[in-house]
């Protein structure tokens, strides 16, 4: 499956050390104004080489439009974006062609396909997420056209043993930290920890939190196609993602119902809404209109600069000393990826809801 979405279908292609990475976005309505500068701004937040805590690989990640855009607006045809690889070094992986790297996809790709691309993991590399971020930036522009007050903001909630409950109010707060942790004291502790791990040739994981304000009501479908289920599906497709929780998530397992329930209230404006939001903005798989909030856990980067025991494809034991350029932690660069996948899920549901809502004009605001 290289395609994500039902009505808004996103197909990515390309490998980590091939000519480049691309994405085809199909199902996007015509006549949508697209600002490519916003797409490249999103890609700059994901690209390698942006701080001491990311891979030193230098990629400009500029976008070339191959189809689907004319005079700055979508035509309704598939929108195809191409991102060239400028700093690929496939020769660094020649020695890995016959070795299974611990906790990498080389082993399972070989089992499934019988032939793998060892250059940085090929298709299984996080380089593929550049295409997702580009597509997500397009989806976000579509969403903002319909819902100008909608905002998607993700941040580093924790790395290794350090975490924060602080919730930022703006992207500027998040971007002020080189590890995208808006809590200054925690950010500094994380930075020192990553420096230590880099010196030791080790890596770590962490947690990305995300909050969506200005949510429309009624997105999501009952039973098997819940908004929460689609978000989980999207987030767990991200490289290194190992856990997803929405609202109180795993903490709700320790709560009483009287603590977790969100009582409904009547506001001064005459609107009925939940008085609290332990559910994270979703009830029965459908958005309530309250803030959507969730967290994604990511495992440590599997490539270490420490000797690791493994085997060659022949089964012969060997020690592996990793080559290549890698992050000490996936979390800082995963922040814009989480935002992108959120935008893709929501945009797809907006298009779906336009045809299934009982509202006379589909989802309120869709035709704006």
**Rounded Cα–Cα distance for residues 288 and 276 (Å):** 12
| Residues 42, 47, 50: CA angle, nearest 5 degrees | 105
Cβ contacts of 21 within 8 Å, gap of 6 or more: 12, 13, 14, 15, 82, 83, 85, 127, 128, 130, 131
Distances (CA, A) of 126 to 104, 214, 260: 12, 30, 36
> What pLDDT does 47 receive?
85
The answer to whether residue 366 sits within a structural domain is no
The answer to whether residue 363 is domain-embedded is no
Digits of tens for pLDDT over the chain (368 positions)?
899 999 999 999 998 888 899 999 999 999 999 999 999 999 999 987 777 777 777 767 899 999 999 999 999 999 999 999 887 676 666 677 788 888 888 889 888 988 888 777 778 888 899 999 999 999 999 999 999 999 999 999 999 999 999 999 999 999 999 999 999 999 999 999 999 999 999 999 999 999 999 999 999 999 999 999 999 999 999 999 999 999 999 999 999 999 999 999 999 999 999 999 999 999 999 999 999 999 999 999 998 888 999 999 889 999 987 765 678 999 999 999 999 999 999 999 999 988 654 444 444 444 33
Determine the Cα–Cα distance for residues 29 and 73; give it in Å rounded to an integer. 10
Distance set, CA 115 to CA 98, 100, 122, 302, 340 (Å): 11, 13, 11, 21, 31
And the tokens for 303?
A: 């490539």
Residue 367 lies in a domain: no
Supply the pLDDT for residue 90: 64
CA distance 297 to 282: 20
Return contacts of 116-122, CB within 8 angstroms, 24+ apart: 117/15, 117/17, 117/18, 118/93, 118/94, 119/15, 119/16, 119/17, 119/18, 119/88, 119/90, 119/93, 120/15, 120/16, 120/17, 120/90, 120/93, 120/324, 121/16, 122/15, 122/16, 122/17, 122/18
Report yes or no on 362 lying in a domain.
no
- Entry pTM: 0.93
Look at residue 361 and tell me if it is in a domain. Answer: no
Pairing mode, if any, of strands 162-163 and 264-266?
A: unpaired
For residue 50, being part of any structural domain is answered with yes
Q: Find out whether 348 and 319 touch, Cβ atoms under 8 Å.
A: no
Q: Is residue 368 domain-resident?
A: no
Note whether 32 and 145 are within 8 A (CB): yes
How many of the other CB atoms lie within 10 Å of CB of 149? 10
Q: For the purposes of burial, counting CB atoms within 10 Å of the CB of 130, is it exposed (0-12), middle (13-18) or buried (19 or more)?
A: buried
pLDDT of residue 94: 67
Stated length of the chain: 368
User: Sign of the CA dihedral 329, 332, 333, 335?
Assistant: positive
Strands, sheet with 151-159, edge to edge from the N-terminal-most edge strand = 162-163, 151-159, 206-213, 292-298, 241-246
- Beta carbons within 8 Å of 212's beta carbon, 6+ residues apart: 150, 151, 152, 153, 281, 291, 292, 293, 342, 346
Tracing tokens 């925690």 back to the chain, one arrives at 186
Domain contains 263: yes
H or E element at residue 260: helix 257-260
The residue among 146, 174, 132, 194 whose CA lies nearest residue 338 is 132
Q: Give the structural domain span for 168.
A: 3-356
Grouping H, G, I as helix, E, B as strand and the rest as coil, residue 364 is coil
Question: CA–CA separation, 65 vs 82, rounded Å?
Answer: 6
Domain count, the chain: 1
The predicted pLDDT at position 324 comes to 59
Tell me the CATH number at 54: 3.60.150.10
- 3 state SS of 313: coil
Please state the φ and ψ torsions of residue 308, each to the nearest 5 degrees: -130, 140
How confident is the model at residue 80, as a pLDDT?
98
Q: Which residues contact 247 (CB under 8 A, 6 or more apart)?
A: 277, 278, 279, 280, 281, 282, 293, 294
- Alpha-carbon distance 130 to 247, whole Å? 28
CB 238 within 8 A of CB 296: yes
């Amino acid at each position: 499956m290289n395609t994500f979405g039902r009505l808004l279908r996103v197909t990515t292609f390309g490998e980590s050390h091939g000519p480049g990475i691309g994405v085809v976005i199909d199902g996007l309505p015509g006549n949508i104004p697209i600002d490519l500068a916003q797409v490249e701004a999103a890609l700059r937040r994901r690209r390698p080489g942006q701080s001491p805590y990311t891979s030193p690989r230098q990629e400009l990640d500029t976008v070339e439009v191959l189809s689907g855009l004319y005079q700055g607006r979508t035509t309704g045809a598939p929108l195809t974006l191409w991102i060239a690889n400028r700093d690929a070094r496939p020769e660094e992986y020649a020695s890995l062609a016959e070795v299974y790297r611990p906790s990498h996809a080389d082993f399972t790709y070989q089992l499934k396909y019988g032939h793998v691309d060892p250059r940085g993991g090929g298709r299984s590399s996080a380089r593929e997420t550049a295409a997702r971020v580009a597509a997500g930036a397009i989806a976000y522009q579509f969403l903002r056209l319909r819902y100008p007050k909608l905002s998607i903001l993700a941040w580093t909630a924790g790395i290794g043993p350090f975490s924060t409950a602080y919730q930022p109010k703006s992207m500027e707060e998040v971007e002020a930290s080189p590890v995208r942790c808006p809590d200054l004291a925690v950010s500094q502790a994380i930075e020192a920890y990553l420096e230590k791990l880099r010196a030791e040739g080790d890596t770590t994981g962490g947690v990305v939190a995300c909050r969506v304000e200005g949510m429309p009501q009624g997105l999501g479908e009952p039973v098997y196609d819940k908004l929460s289920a689609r978000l989980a599906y999207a987030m767990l497709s991200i490289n290194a993602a190992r856990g997803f929780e929405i609202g109180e998530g795993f903490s709700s397992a320790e709560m009483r119902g009287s603590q977790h329930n969100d009582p409904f209230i009547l506001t001064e404006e005459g609107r009925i809404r939940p008085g609290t939001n332990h559910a994270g903005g979703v009830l029965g798989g459908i958005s309530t209109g309250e803030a959507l909030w969730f967290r994604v856990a990511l495992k440590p980067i599997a490539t270490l600069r420490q000797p690791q025991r493994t085997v060659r494809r022949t089964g012969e034991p060997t020690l592996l000393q990793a080559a290549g350029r890698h992050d000490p932690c996936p979390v800082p660069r995963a922040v814009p990826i989480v935002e992108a996948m959120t935008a893709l899920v929501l945009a797809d549901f907006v298009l779906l809801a336009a045809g299934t809502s009982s509202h006379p004009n589909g989802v309120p605001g869709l035709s704006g």
